[in-house]
Structure formats: structure tokens, C-alpha cells
Amino acid sequence: MQIHAHRLDVRQVQSPYQDDRPDNDIDLIVIHSISLPAGHFSGNYVEALFTGCLDTSCHADFEDLAGVEVSSHLFIRRSGEVIQFVDFDKRAWHAGESRFGDRIRCNDFSIGIELEGTDHNRYRDVQYDKLITVCRLLIDEYSIPRGNVVGHAEIAPGRKMDPGPTFNWQRLKNGLERI
């Protein structure tokens, strides 16, 4: 499924870093944060990373990204632009080593949404508005329990911190309760 079918303005950019899910039992949404270089916004480096086109020699922060194959279903920029890299029925490579409850390999059954930001920058109102809209559509389409919208930190504790302490979980929860 592509979200543009729901009349949300989404730019489609295909990532090579995806594959088939082992089954189509999607019941988790994982919220991430990303900026490249760290703390810099509005460039095209995240898009380049998710499409395998990042020149890792162009910035010292990118050295650790050489050979990394990573993607997300969606990327919500600070401007509110939404980019879809992977169809929701496909598996994006966003969660890494992960666990939700008694299930491992969260990429198999989750949808990954990246917010342009860092663990310590506040997210913008337009990002919350788009995130709430997207989550509501996904919850409805896939019958995802509202409690199954989590941060990367929750499925990879000790390894990840995103979306970070400035993320307003109550605002997201309030927006989702209006379903």
C-alpha cells in the first residue's frame, strides 16, 4: 500500500533496501529520528542514505555509514514533507536487532517512520500533525492497536534512544485517541 492513495501529499522515492515480509501481519509502528549530518536539517543526505546513494566521504559524520543498508517506510521532514521509500506491505530495514514483547526482528511486522530531528531537538508542529495523520491511516488500514506505536528506543533498549526525550508522546497519544 502506498499512502498517497489516502490523499495525503507524499513523494514516492524507491529504496533498494527492502524485501518481502515473512507474512503480512503488520501490527507495530516504530517512530525514529534521523538527521545527516547530526543536527543538520533540510539537506538530501537522508534520502541519499535510504536510496544507497550517500557519498560517505563528503562528511566526517558519514564514515560509519559506509556499506550500511537501511531504509524506512516514511520520512517526515521538519517542513512537513512526507517521503515514502518502501510500500507498507514490504519490509523496510529500519529496526535492526529488536524486540517487541516476545517477538524479535521487528522489521518483519512493523512500519518504520523517521522524523527529521535528533534525540534532543524538539519536533515541529507540522511533523506531529503529519505523524498523527499517517498513524491514524495505518492503524485503520492494518488494525494496529494504538498501544503498538512505539519509539525505536522501546524495541532496541540500550542500543537506541530515538525519537528522544523531547518527543511529545502525550501529543501523539491524544491525536490517536480521536480515531
Residues 47, 81, 97, 114: which is the catalytic one? Answer: 114
- Is the dihedral angle over the CA atoms 46, 65, 69, 132 positive or is it negative? negative
**What whole-number distance in Å separates Cα of residue 156 and Cα of residue 112?**
13
> What is the pTM assigned to this prediction?
0.95
**What whole-number distance in Å separates Cα of residue 121 and Cα of residue 123?**
6
Q: Yes or no: say if 133 and 15 are a contact pair by the CB < 8 Å rule.
A: no
pLDDT of amino acid 8: 80
Q: Is 177 a catalytic residue?
A: no
Per-residue pLDDT of the chain (179 residues; tens, 9 = 90+): 666 545 688 999 999 999 999 988 999 999 999 999 999 998 999 999 999 999 999 999 999 999 999 999 999 999 999 999 999 999 999 999 999 999 999 999 999 999 999 989 999 999 999 999 999 999 999 999 999 999 999 999 999 999 999 999 999 999 999 75
**What whole-number distance in Å separates Cα of residue 92 and Cα of residue 50?**
10
Strand spans (E) along 2-146: 10-12, 18-20, 28-34, 74-76, 82-84, 90-92, 99-100, 103-104, 110-116
As assigned by CATH, the class of the 3-177 domain is alpha beta
pLDDT of amino acid 5: 47
**What whole-number distance in Å separates Cα of residue 112 and Cα of residue 106?**
10
